[in-house]
Chain A
Amino acid sequence: MNWVIENLPLIGQRTAEHLALSIPPIILSFIISVPIGWLANRYRWSRGVLLTVLGLLYAIPSLPLFVVLPIILGTGLRDSVNVIVALTLYGIALMVRTTADALGSVSSDVTQSATAMGFSPWTRFWKVDLPLAGPVLLAGIRVVAVSTVSLVTVGAVLGIKSLGLLFTDGLQRNIVAEVATGMVATIALALLIDFALVLVGRVLMPWTHVVSSKRVRRALPSDAGVAA
């Protein structure tokens, strides 16, 4: 506990650096995944191709990706751009599948009604498909956010500044408290961003709260019926 009190400014600085590296990938991967996810959901061939390529991308371990990306981007090994691109790629790899599934789960009765009412494909996408896919998209981006925050720390072994530096520094100077602080701070930051996303979801989709509780209530009697 003493270590924490003595080093509060350092922890604050590392947390700020950590945030600067984790927020852009979360936002970018969400925005980029919407068109790609739409394409993956639209045609059978594009789904297969896109999901296979992104699956392979996701299979690349983070540290090697941090090392290889600079030769493609022309950046330095310790550039924050490097980390942001790498984490955005992981985010996209996770988010496109979710986006495709979310758009695919919108009931065709609803989309057909919208078309019958005169929605153009473009307005239908923004006013019907996307809002209805919203809850699943939110759940997907929460997963991306939590794993992004935890992955940022890996860059510390290359000297990239984040809460992860508390791990490497703690190892070199043999301070367990420093490493433990880094872990607690990383997890706390992940939970905080997760909570913030939930709040954003509440504001943007005020109807979800009502719908989800209704669904639970409706599911119960039928489940009991099956069991009986």
Chain B
Amino acid sequence: MNLLVDAFAWIFDPAHQAGANGIPTRLVQHLGISLLVLVVASAIAIPVGYLIGHTGKGRTLAVSLTGGFRSLPTLGLLIILALWLGVGLEAPLIALIVLAVPPILAGAYSGFEAVDRRTIDAARAVGMTEWQIVSKVEVPLGLPLLIGGLRSGTLQIIATATLADYVGAGGLGHFIFVGQKSNDYPQMLAGSLLVIALALLSEGIFALLQKLVVPRGVVANQNTDVRTSSPRRVAVVGSPTEERK
């Protein structure tokens, strides 16, 4: 446990509060990479996921794709891209986007799929256009599952961004790898604790967001656990929002 004290001492050491190698710089790098990747991956995954969810076409492909990505070793992808594209931010960014797309895509299409077919038929019956059905029925009702997808996508990004310093991307993972090279276990621990804090913080924010986005009319009938509930009431296995980092 002394090591833990050392790690906290390392985190709060004034020498590590500023400069190119300080905690704030590395934290900003980590957050910057993560946010950029989240935005790009969402821009790709959400429209495609919505299209799949609304039309029901390409669903089998999407399911096998998101399932197949679970077996893809993140470190291997990171390194093979780094060898191809050379040192720099390019390889880690592409690797992160590739890894973040599947969970967000799954969240988007499963959100649409979870909407009761009768609700959509009713919307069509009252004269809504296809576009209105998407924007006024499917999007708001699918939002909790989409946020669930963004939640696991973000976790995946934060986790892999830690690994990304192995190919020189910077971020909080830097402390882990530098600490390892110089046999400085407290520094490795400090880096790890910072990453864990960041991951738990993002988990907390998304959990809150997930509660907030449930449309008011739905709350009354809502199962308390939005991530697994489905109108069909069957056990959901490895629900699409549970992708691995």
B155, B173, B180, B188: which has the most chain A beta carbons within 10 Å?
Answer: B188
A102 near B73: Cβ-Cβ < 8 Å: no
**B29 within 8 Å of A (CB atoms):** no
Tell me how far the C-beta of B231 lies from the nearest C-beta in chain A, rounded to whole angstroms: 13
Beyond A139-B238, A147-B244, A176-B80, whether A60 also contacts B199 by CB under 8 A is yes
* In the bound complex, CA of A55 to CA of B199 (Å): 12
Cβ contacts under 8 Å, B36 to chain A: none
* Residue on A nearest B197 in the bound complex, by CB: A64
Tell me how far the C-beta of B29 lies from the nearest C-beta in chain A, rounded to whole angstroms: 16
* In the bound complex, CA of A180 to CA of B224 (Å): 44
**B13 within 8 Å of A (CB atoms):** no
A105 near B70: Cβ-Cβ < 8 Å: no
Cβ contacts under 8 Å, A153 to chain B: 73-76
A 66-104 contacts with B by CB, 8 A: 67-68, 71, 77, 94, 97-98, 101-102, 104
* Residue on B nearest A137 in the bound complex, by CB: B237
B 183-197 contacts with A by CB, 8 A: 185, 188-189, 191-193, 195-196
A 147-172 contacts with B by CB, 8 A: 147, 149-151, 153-154, 156-158, 163-164, 167-168, 170-171
* In the bound complex, CA of A68 to CA of B7 (Å): 11
Taking A63-B192, A176-B83, A183-B80 as known contacts, 17 extra A-B pairs with beta carbons closer than 8 A to each other, sorted by chain A number, are A51-B225, A59-B199, A62-B245, A63-B159, A64-B162, A64-B193, A67-B176, A67-B191, A71-B189, A139-B237, A142-B238, A143-B242, A149-B71, A167-B73, A176-B80, A182-B73, A183-B76
- Smallest CB-CB A-B distances: 10 pairs: A61-B159, A64-B192, A143-B238, A101-B235, A147-B244, A139-B237, A190-B71, A105-B235, A67-B192, A183-B76
